């Protein structure tokens, strides 16, 4: 049997687990990461791409933002489109200079993994954690499997950064939390295409045929989405049909959509999920292990990073001041931001998706909101400050 020992046992090498490991290292706290998948698999997984100002600032402070700042694209605004009419919400001027950066999650994961390993950090790939034990005592254990051999990681604390399907949430005692799930009555068909973006900033569009989003990845790769029914199938969508639909839904006078070879196509359901407690004893959940938001607000990765910032602060206080106060308060403080993100993601989702017949009461409410953004700086500011992410002080 393989026996390991550290201060913080981290399950999962996604953005939450890796960021936590590096934040802990900066405080002189030891950690070991166990990751179910191979390094190649984790680093190729295309997911998020929108980094809030807080996230970029944390990566700068950790010294892992060189490539992000070089290759990422800072966006100072977003285009919102309704029935073919397009407006722009400028971020920087409404939020005192806060912006977003477009940089693929897989690149973030690569940068963080490289940094962790270069600094001598221990990480075990293809090592599934199977059970978390004794987390109500001072000596929790994580059981795992490594190269066909059973193992135990003895630690002071367990950070379950193991995503939506991990074991962390399932290990929380059922009487310590409530779960909330909302499944939206539509999904996103997303594509990645080898074509230069037809826009310099993201475009969110309501159209009577449904929602569309033009996002970006680089100068040569575009990421686009359209709203489809939950029971729709990818086989129903030829590349030609996808481009036609995108051109219609995103269309506005004097603008045209560039098309190119599609190299990734998938349908993702839209849902919100979260637990109202993220800890028990010495077990702490962070990131998708505890919550999922619909991708409309670009919040998933950023919430994961915000969670582990609070968790790392709490652990630092424990090791440096022998105080458990900040750790006890972890769920309470993280949930304030999570609720805010749930609300904003829901707002963006319901504002731009087709929910009912064109012209219906719901449609008129959506249109009234859009018309208000056009005339009210206060309303536009609300959108901008949520989009770029509220500063940490707001929730502390
Ligand atoms: C299609 C798509 C688009 C998205 N777009 C955006 C976006 O634009 N902006 C945004 O902010 N967010 C977006 N998200 C959400 C974002 O990708 C997630 O919120 C983010 O990955 C959460 O990070 P995490 O570290 O909590 O979880 P994950 O990235 O899921 O990492 C968890 C890790 O734990 C590992 N693991 C699981 N179980 C075990 C086990 N038993 N033992 C060991 N390891 C285990 C997994 O292999 C995984 O590597 C998107 C998600 C999807 C699916």
The string over 194-233, giving b where at least 16 C-beta atoms fall within 10 Å of a residue's C-beta and e elsewhere, is: ebebbbebbbbbbbeebbbbbbbbbeebbbbbbbbeeeee
DSSP-assigned letter for residue 166: S
Active site residue 294: no
Mean pLDDT of 380-385: 98
Does the pLDDT value for residue 362 go beyond 90?
yes
Pocket of ligand 1 (CB under 6 A): 11-17, 34-37, 42, 47-50, 105, 128-129, 161-163, 166-167, 268, 287-288, 295, 298-302, 304
The Cα–Cα gap between 396 and 306 comes to 12
At 261 the pLDDT is 98
Mean pLDDT of 369-396: 95
Averaged pLDDT score across all residues of the chain: 96
The Cα–Cα gap between 18 and 23 comes to 9
Domains and their CATH numbers in the chain: 2-49+104-178+276-353 (3.50.50.60), 180-271 (3.30.9.10)
The Cβ of residue 320 has, within 10 Å, a number of other Cβ atoms equal to 11
At 45 the pLDDT is 85
Burial class (CB in 10 A: 0-12, 13-18, 19+), 4: middle
Question: For residue 93, which phi and psi values (nearest 5 degrees)?
Answer: -75, -20
How remote is the CA of residue 346 from the centroid of ligand 1, in Å? 20
Q: What pLDDT digit, counting tens, does each position of 37-51 carry?
A: 999 999 988 888 899
162 touches 250 (CB < 8 A): no
The Cα–Cα gap between 349 and 258 comes to 25
Q: 226 or 393: whose pLDDT is higher? A: 226
Mean pLDDT of 236-258: 97
At 217 the pLDDT is 87
At 91 the pLDDT is 96
**pTM of the shown model:** 0.95
Does the pLDDT value for residue 396 go beyond 90?
no
The Cα–Cα gap between 169 and 161 comes to 10
Tokens 């090791």 locate to 319
Mean pLDDT of 97-111: 95
């Amino acid at each position: 049997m393989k026996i390991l020992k550290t201060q913080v046992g981290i399950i999962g090498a996604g953005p939450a687990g890796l960021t936590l490991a590096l934040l802990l290292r900066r405080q002189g706290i030891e950690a070991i990461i166990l990751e179910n998948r191979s390094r190649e698999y984790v680093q190729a997984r295309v997911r998020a791409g929108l980094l809030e100002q807080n996230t970029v600032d944390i990566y700068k402070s950790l010294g892992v933002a060189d490539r992000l700042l070089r290759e990422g694209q800072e966006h100072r605004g977003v285009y919102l489109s309704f029935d073919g009419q397009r407006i722009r919400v400028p971020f920087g001027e409404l939020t005192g200079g806060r912006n977003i950066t477009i940089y693929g999650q897989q690149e973030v994961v690569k940068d963080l993994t490289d940094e962790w390993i270069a600094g001598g950090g221990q990480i075990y790939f293809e090592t599934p954690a199977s059970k978390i034990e004794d987390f109500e005592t001072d000596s929790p254990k994580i059981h795992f499997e490594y190269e066909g051999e059973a193992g135990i990681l003895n630690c002071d604390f367990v950070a379950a950064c193991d995503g939506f399907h991990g074991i962390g949430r399932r290990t929380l005692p059922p009487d310590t939390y409530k779960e909330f799930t909302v499944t939206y009555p539509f999904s996103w068909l997303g594509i990645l295409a080898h074509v230069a973006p037809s826009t310099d900033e993201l475009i969110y569009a309501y159209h009577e045929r449904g929602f569309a989003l033009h996002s970006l990845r680089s100068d040569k790769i575009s990421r686009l989405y359209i709203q489809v029914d939950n029971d729709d199938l990818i086989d129903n969508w030829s590349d030609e049909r996808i481009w036609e639909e995108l051109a219609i839904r995103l269309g506005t006078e004097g603008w045209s959509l560039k098309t190119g070879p599609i190299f990734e196509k998938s349908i993702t359901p839209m849902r919100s999920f979260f637990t109202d407690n993220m800890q028990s004893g010495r077990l702490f959940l962070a990131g998708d292990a505890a919550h999922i938001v619909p991708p409309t607000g670009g919040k998933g990765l950023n919430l994961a990073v915000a969670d582990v910032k609070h968790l790392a602060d709490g652990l630092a206080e424990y090791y440096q001041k022998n105080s458990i106060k900040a750790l006890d308060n972890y769920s309470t403080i993280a949930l304030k931001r999570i609720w805010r993100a749930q609300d904003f993601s829901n707002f963006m989702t319901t504002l731009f998706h087709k929910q009912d017949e064109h012209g219906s009461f719901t449609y008129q409410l959506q249109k009234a909101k859009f018309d208000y953004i056009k005339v009210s700086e206060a309303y536009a500011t609300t959108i901008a400050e949520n989009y770029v992410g509220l500063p940490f002080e707001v929730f502390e």
